[in-house]
Amino acid sequence: MMNHSPYMPTDPFLVSYYDCLPNFHTGDDSPRAFLERCLKKIESREDEVRAFTALDIEGAREAADRATLRYGEGRVLSLVDGMPIGVKDVIDTADLPTQMGSPLFREWRPRFDAASVSALRQAGAVILGKTVTTEFAAVVPGPTRNPFDQNRTPGGSSSGSAAAVGIGMIPAGLGTQVIGSITRPASYCGCYGYKPTVGAVNRGGSLDYMSQSTQGVLAASLDDAWAVIYAISARVGGDPGFPGLYGGEDPGPESGPARLIRLDTAGWDRVDENTRGVFDDALDRLRSAGVEIIGRRDNRLIETYEETIAEGLDISRSINTWEFHWPLLTFEDRIPGHLSDIMEGRLEAAGAMTPADYRTWIAKRDQARDLHRELAAIADGFITLGATGAAPVGLDSTGDPAFSLPASYIGCPAVTVPCLSVDGMPLGIQVIGFADEDEGLFSQARWIEGLLLHRR
Amino acid sequence: MMNHSPYMPTDPFLVSYYDCLPNFHTGDDSPRAFLERCLKKIESREDEVRAFTALDIEGAREAADRATLRYGEGRVLSLVDGMPIGVKDVIDTADLPTQMGSPLFREWRPRFDAASVSALRQAGAVILGKTVTTEFAAVVPGPTRNPFDQNRTPGGSSSGSAAAVGIGMIPAGLGTQVIGSITRPASYCGCYGYKPTVGAVNRGGSLDYMSQSTQGVLAASLDDAWAVIYAISARVGGDPGFPGLYGGEDPGPESGPARLIRLDTAGWDRVDENTRGVFDDALDRLRSAGVEIIGRRDNRLIETYEETIAEGLDISRSINTWEFHWPLLTFEDRIPGHLSDIMEGRLEAAGAMTPADYRTWIAKRDQARDLHRELAAIADGFITLGATGAAPVGLDSTGDPAFSLPASYIGCPAVTVPCLSVDGMPLGIQVIGFADEDEGLFSQARWIEGLLLHRR
């Protein structure tokens, strides 16, 4: 049952903060007025969408007023100064509860902010609220519904950020992705999803101890997405030991790719005809605009790569299970009985694993990453869908992560652009780049977005 | 002023748990009886040494009784089952306060255990207490005094673990080392210090966000040291993405090195004549036993390496400062006025750094690590002192970290063996190995220990 008229990617659901910056400078608009528009949308839709676990409306108004003052006085701190941001509820916030999608952390309040939150506050951003996550950013869903059909999942694990941004409650929400948690919900909810290169964003102070996880953002535009991630990385860097985000405050102009690899990964057998048709049309438009699209039949190296990442989902799950041994061990030891059956199963599975098993898996992942790097000699990037179709009906599962997995497994950056639709629901195009070349990926995504959204 | 008779490395201060295992099996001794001996030593010396920030004597007695029962029933969990362990106070413990050496965390109690503590509990170990750390494991000292001269520093930052183990209060204490925090205090306090390969031990749940930091152990013997680190890594692995500790439950038999590089790093100009003499005597004994000792004059690659690590201290400090931006940012933002002047200075310095600066430093560190690996073709390992001399008089500084720095900067494993003395105080020999070859390093250290302690 549709609750709203069919989604069209050109409908103005998304609320970009970046686009309003000129009017903040002239005084025709203000961060406080922007916030009030967000609050109005939240008031009208939150009861049904359930994107937030907590809101700090008074604190947000005060912060937005301070930003408005800075705009008036020409003391603007950054491109995100005054931007209302939602924070996935596995990321610590000192002003708001951080409940990890788990009864184990009900009403839990950290004393300090996570690295990203701390950096965003320094940059003047307004931490408006916490957004729903699955249990520990894994698979057990929270209460969020898809804003375009409340019988469908918003995707996960960054469910609340995707739904809130998709329907225009906020211009940006922090997310994390270890398998499918940013680009998939972005596709389902019709917003932009940016999963940076692994290690590019400091994850300190979040419940996120997995080696292929990355903190990223669900956003109303590419500019909003970049502004948020840049603001964090410029202030607190990437994960310790990683070079952090490469690129300037502005990711640079659009640039059309000469050649893209169409990923033919696991999951395509589950894509329906309508969805295939929509994707093929998009590829045709790219071809018409001069982009060469190649695939596994065109090049032996691509075929080898596809075969290598076919085992990526199983290996990723094994890696995650071992890396989750702690903290699950202490969760169950200190405050027993609060894990989902799925997490209890993982704890048990991890107990049967050894460091030698883990080494085998990360060695295989390293091999896949090496292969991925080799493909830079062949193409400018990769193109696929953000998910295997529109958000599926039902709230018990967050959907199929197959198309998000490759970028997670490889640790390379990926962007989902909300420029397609199927069955009256959003569908994203996903562009995948090469590690540490997030800036170049944005230039390509910007060009592809312009083409597919008929902006040129 | 000496408070005790001069220290001799053959004096039986250290209390090895590993050595008692046979008697636990026969029933001639028990984990509970071992604990009581520890408690007696603590009772007699703690007022003066001040190694602990908290003790859980009743909890420890219960845990030791359970271990005693397991020994009686032949259900022993691991080599550390029943071992009383001190935990450096930057590592979370759910049963005991975790105060980080800072007023910011006074009486702070985490809800969960850190990865290492959780693993040790699973292995049956007895978490007896928390040991004094400098502020956030950096430079501002805690109250601990050197157990062999209370006017001297125990070294830092793992001050309490080193002092407690050195004087025989416990057989092992967890430590962390980012520049000089395990091998230096081990040398000053006359205990074994083991800093594993970077990433080999899971640091989850500790206030330790630095890329060259490693969790390790201060211990009463090489066997105790290995047993503790193995028990952790076998259960919760290394840091996410790292292969974890290589090697079995038993690190294998002693094995004499054929050729060692005598490190002639920065700091030797501050070593006094007595200390040089003691070290030269030790080298002569190694030579007499057939070990070839080479140095920078013998090989151009060694000279290049020495020059490269000469800048390691400055680069390490810069890296640490950037990596400390968060959490210092949120500490000062959320609960202002609780940082030391030194930490306030670091926060300010970090604010002036950029991700591009950081990239330059970690690239230089990577170069040094590559050079280090190349030296494996030339020698079996490296030999130097654990510190630039005996623990210096005064409690305002934790001493000179120059000789601990190379292994921290390189990320390779190092062991300090308490087999020398100078000025009536302990002095350790430090053996440094190659990354991920901790097991081989132990075999060498065991052989060197046997030689220098006149066991053969």
- The tens digit of pLDDT for each residue in A324-340 reads 999 999 999 999 999 99
Summarize pLDDT for B338-349 with one digit per residue, the tens: 999 999 999 999
pLDDT beyond 50 at A2: no
pLDDT beyond 80 at A273: yes
What proportion of chain A, given as a percentage, has pLDDT over 90?
95
Summarize pLDDT for B58-93 with one digit per residue, the tens: 999 999 999 999 999 999 999 999 999 999 999 999
Q: Is A112 on the interface with B (CB under 8 A)?
A: yes
What residues of A are labeled active site? 88, 157, 181
pLDDT beyond 50 at A3: no
Q: How far is A320 from chain B (nearest CA, A)?
A: 9
Residue appearing with tokens 């690899």: A261
Summarize pLDDT for A201-231 with one digit per residue, the tens: 999 999 999 999 999 999 999 999 999 999 9
Residue in B41, B88, B130, B195 annotated catalytic: B88
Confidence of residue B455 (pLDDT cuts 50, 70, 90): low
The whole-number pLDDT of residue A10 equals 72
From the list B94, B204, B359, the residue facing A326 with the nearest CB is B204
pLDDT beyond 70 at A107: yes
pLDDT beyond 80 at A1: no
Mean pLDDT of chain B: 96
Q: Using the beta-carbon criterion (under 8 Å), do A326 and B205 form an inter-chain contact?
A: yes
Summarize pLDDT for A57-104 with one digit per residue, the tens: 999 999 999 999 999 999 999 999 999 999 999 999 999 999 999 999
Q: Which two tokens stand for residue B211?
A: 């890329």
Confidence of residue A12 (pLDDT cuts 50, 70, 90): confident
The whole-number pLDDT of residue A124 equals 98
pLDDT beyond 70 at B2: no
**Residues of chain B positioned with their CB less than 8 A from the CB of A359:** 243-244
**Residues of chain B positioned with their CB less than 8 A from the CB of A209:** 204, 240
**Quick one: which of A421, A330, A435, A432 has its CA closest to A373?**
A435
The whole-number pLDDT of residue A265 equals 87
**What is d(CA A451, CA A441) in angstroms, rounded to the nearest whole number?**
15
Q: How far is A64 from chain B (nearest CA, A)?
A: 18
Cα B178 to chain centroid distance, Å, stands at 10
Site from A330, A338, A353, A410 to mutate, B interface, most B CB atoms within 10 angstroms: A330
Average pLDDT over residues B361-380: 98
Q: Is B122 on the interface with A (CB under 8 A)?
A: yes
Average pLDDT over residues B120-125: 98
The whole-number pLDDT of residue B456 equals 55
Q: How far is B330 from chain A (nearest CA, A)?
A: 6
Residue in B102, B159, B161, B181 annotated catalytic: B181
**Residues of chain B positioned with their CB less than 8 A from the CB of A244:** 355, 358-359
* CATH level 3 topology of A18-252: Amidase signature (AS) enzymes (3.90.1300)
Could you tell me if the ipTM is greater than 0.85?
yes
A 10 A CB-CB count for A363 gives 10
The whole-number pLDDT of residue A4 equals 52
List B152's β-bridge partners, or say none: B393, B394
Please report the beta strands in B112-213, taking only residues with DSSP state E, as ranges in sequence order: 126-131, 172-177, 192-195
**Residues of chain A positioned with their CB less than 8 A from the CB of B234:** 354-355
Confidence of residue A456 (pLDDT cuts 50, 70, 90): low
Average pLDDT over residues B138-145: 96
Residue appearing with tokens 């469908």: A152
Site from B98, B121, B202, B330 to mutate, A interface, most A CB atoms within 10 angstroms: B330
Give me Rg for the CA atoms of chain B.
21
Confidence of residue A194 (pLDDT cuts 50, 70, 90): very high
The whole-number pLDDT of residue B265 equals 86
The whole-number pLDDT of residue A252 equals 80
pLDDT beyond 70 at B183: yes
Contact A79, A88 (CB under 8 A): no
pLDDT beyond 90 at B10: no
Confidence of residue A8 (pLDDT cuts 50, 70, 90): confident
CATH code for the structural domain at B18-254+388-452: 3.90.1300.10
Mean pLDDT of chain A: 96
Residues of chain B numbered 241-280 and touching chain A (CB < 8 Å): 241, 243-245
**Quick one: which of B38, B10, B17 has its CA closest to B426?**
B10
Q: How far is B232 from chain A (nearest CA, A)?
A: 11
Summarize pLDDT for A274-304 with one digit per residue, the tens: 999 999 999 999 999 999 999 999 999 999 9
Summarize pLDDT for B226-276 with one digit per residue, the tens: 999 999 999 999 999 999 999 999 888 999 999 999 999 889 999 999 999
Q: Using the beta-carbon criterion (under 8 Å), do A236 and B331 form an inter-chain contact?
A: no
Top-confidence residue, B3 or A247: A247
From the list B244, B325, B359, the residue facing A358 with the nearest CB is B244
pLDDT beyond 70 at B131: yes
pLDDT beyond 90 at A9: no
The whole-number pLDDT of residue B174 equals 98
Domain-by-domain residue ranges, chain B? 18-254+388-452, 259-377
Q: Using the beta-carbon criterion (under 8 Å), do B331 and A112 form an inter-chain contact?
A: yes
pTM of the predicted model as reported, rounded to 2 decimal places = 0.97
Q: Which two tokens stand for residue B421?
A: 């003395």
**Residues of chain A positioned with their CB less than 8 A from the CB of B322:** 237
Q: In what order do the strands lie in the sheet with B192-195?
A: B52-55, B126-131, B84-88, B172-177, B214-219, B192-195, B414-422, B425-432, B381-385, B259-262, B292-294
**HEC string of chain A?**
CCCCCCCCCCCCCCCCCHHHHHHHHHCCCCHHHHHHHHHHHHHHHHHHHCCEEEECHHHHHHHHHHHHHHHHHCCCCCCCCCCEEEEECCECCCCCCCCCCCHHHCCCCCCCCCHHHHHHHHCCCEEEEEECCCHHHCCCCCCCCECCECCECCCCCCHHHHHHHHCCCCCEEEEEECCCCCHHHHHHHCCEEEECCCCCCCCCCECCCCCCCEEEEEECCHHHHHHHHHHHHHHHCCCCCCCCCCCCCCCCCCCCCCEEEECCCCCHHHCCHHHHHHHHHHHHHHHHCCCEEECCCCCHHHHHHHHHHHCHHHHHHHHHHHHCHHHHHHHHHHCCCCCCHHHHHHHHHHHCCCHHHHHHHHHHHHHHHHHHHHHHHCCCEEEEECCCCCCCEECCCCCCCCCCHHHHHHCCCEEEEEEEEECCEEEEEEEECCCCCHHHHHHHHHHHHHHHCCCC
